[in-house]
Structures are given as structure tokens and as C-alpha cells.
Chains A and B, each alone.
Chain A
Amino acid sequence: EPEVTQTPSHQVTQMGQEVILRCVPISNHLYFYWYRQILGQKVEFLVSFYNNEISEKSEIFDDQFSVERPDGSNFTLKIRSTKLEDSAMYFCASSSGTGFYEQYFGPGTRLTVT
């Protein structure tokens, strides 16, 4: 069964450093998303991406964040200058754009900012 994959599984970085989180969505999917979940809190939407552009973004997704689909398979989230409050689990999701547009999530990257 096709899966969304994410790397790395855990990233530790110092405050102010740039990080890039990588995702490989399911191969025939057209819609891509990033969500995050701070420990003990609910899952929160960050950004959606379709047809090579951002289709929607949340208030969390400020100028420090960017997304890219550099080739036909990868989908990346970059945080330019990390803050302590960026520590969270970051989930990538993708959707085929058919039916109920169900979104399937990757296993996540745990980002720890020290």
C-alpha cells in the first residue's frame, strides 16, 4: 500500500538555525499539506500546496516558513530561523483529489529546537 514518507524522523537544532523537513507524498497524489502538533495539543494546519503553488496557509505559516516541490516526488518545508516554540511534530499529508479528498499522513518529523 502506498505511503507518505518523511525524513528525518527526528531533528534537533539550535535556535536561529534553518531546518528543512522532507516528505515524499503518495506518487499519484496532487494535493500536499503540512501540519504540526505540539506535544499534548491538537493537530494544526500550516499550509496546502496544489499545482505548484500555495493554495492556503494558516497564521502560523509566517515569513519564516516556506514550502517547495523541487522535483516530481519531494515536498519540503523550510523553517528559516527556528524558535523554541517551533518544537513540534511536523506531519506531511497528501490527497489524490478524488472522492472525499481524503488526506493521508506521513509518520512525521519530530523537531526539537534547543
Chain B
Amino acid sequence: RKEVEQDPGPFNVPEGATVAFNCTYSNSASQSFFWYRQDCRKEPKLLMSVYSSGNEDGRFTAQLNRASQYISLLIRDSKLSDSATYLCVVSKAAGNKLTFGGGTRVLVKP
């Protein structure tokens, strides 16, 4: 089983719509969770850390379900600039290595 699994997509999303996707992780000892976005051939950019209680940052909402070992990301009012690959990332402890999922590709279309 992969350590972090994501639906590769692509998710084709009309501009202004809401899109949600999640990832599952295999290591129940994971303590830190993040969403990064990656544009084609660019570096991963931190989108948000995921809090145990879930958190929101503008149009982005992240949720963590420790019992089922999955993390979700919801994007509201999608913009063309949201087109990217979204990387689910986990870590066993603060400061430890990051383990990346393969990414979910999102394409926002006019």
C-alpha cells in the first residue's frame, strides 16, 4: 500500500464551481499534514497546514479524519489560477521528512 494515496484526476472544474478531493495515508503515527500545490515543472508551494479540527483559508478548506486516515481539500469559487496539481503531504513528526502523494490534478475551465 502506498504511504500517501491520491486520485490523480484530472478534475475538470467549471470556473466558480466547488471541487473537493481527498487523500489517504497509511501510517497511523503521522502527526503533521499539509496541502501543497505544484504548477508544471515548478516547486511545491505550501497551500495550508491541516489542523486536527479542520481549518479554512479563504476559499480553501482542509479536513483531517484520523480515524479513517484521510485528509480532504475543498476549493470554493474556483478560479482559473487554481489549475494546478495538489499534493497531499504527511509527516511522522514536526521537522521530520515529508512524504508526498502523487498529486491530484485540477483543471479549472472558463
Closest residue to B92 on the A side, CB-wise? A56
The residue that B97 contacts in the complex, of A41, A56, A91, A106, with Cβ under 8 A, is A56
The residue that B44 contacts in the complex, of A31, A43, A50, A100, with Cβ under 8 A, is A43
Proximity string of chain B (71-93) to chain A, C-beta cutoff 8 Å, 1 when within and 0 when not: 00000000000000001000100
A-side interface mostly: strand
A107-B43 CB under 8 A given contacts A95-B95, A102-B49 = yes
Count residues of A near B (Cβ-Cβ below 8 Å).
Answer: 28
- Shortest C-beta distance, A42 to chain B (Å), equals 5
- Shortest C-beta distance, B89 to chain A (Å), equals 8
A33-B97 CB under 8 A given contacts A42-B102, A101-B32 = yes
Taking a contact as CB atoms under 8 Å apart, the answer to whether A101 and B95 are in contact is: yes
Interface residues in B38-60 (C-beta closer than 8 Å to A):
41-46, 49
Contact of B25 with A by CB under 8 A: no
Closest residue to A35 on the B side, CB-wise? B98
Taking a contact as CB atoms under 8 Å apart, the answer to whether A45 and B95 are in contact is: no
Closest residue to B87 on the A side, CB-wise? A43
Residues of chain B having any CB pair with chain A under 8 Å: 32, 34, 41-46, 49, 87, 91, 94-103
Q: List 22 A-B contacts (CB under 8 A).
A: A31-B95, A35-B98, A41-B102, A42-B100, A42-B101, A42-B102, A42-B103, A43-B44, A43-B87, A55-B95, A56-B97, A58-B97, A91-B43, A93-B98, A95-B95, A100-B32, A100-B34, A101-B95, A103-B98, A105-B43, A107-B42, A107-B43
Known A41-B102, A105-B43, A105-B45; 20 more pairs at CB < 8 Å: A33-B97, A35-B98, A42-B103, A43-B87, A43-B100, A45-B98, A48-B96, A55-B95, A56-B96, A56-B97, A91-B43, A91-B44, A97-B95, A100-B34, A102-B34, A102-B49, A103-B46, A104-B46, A106-B43, A108-B43
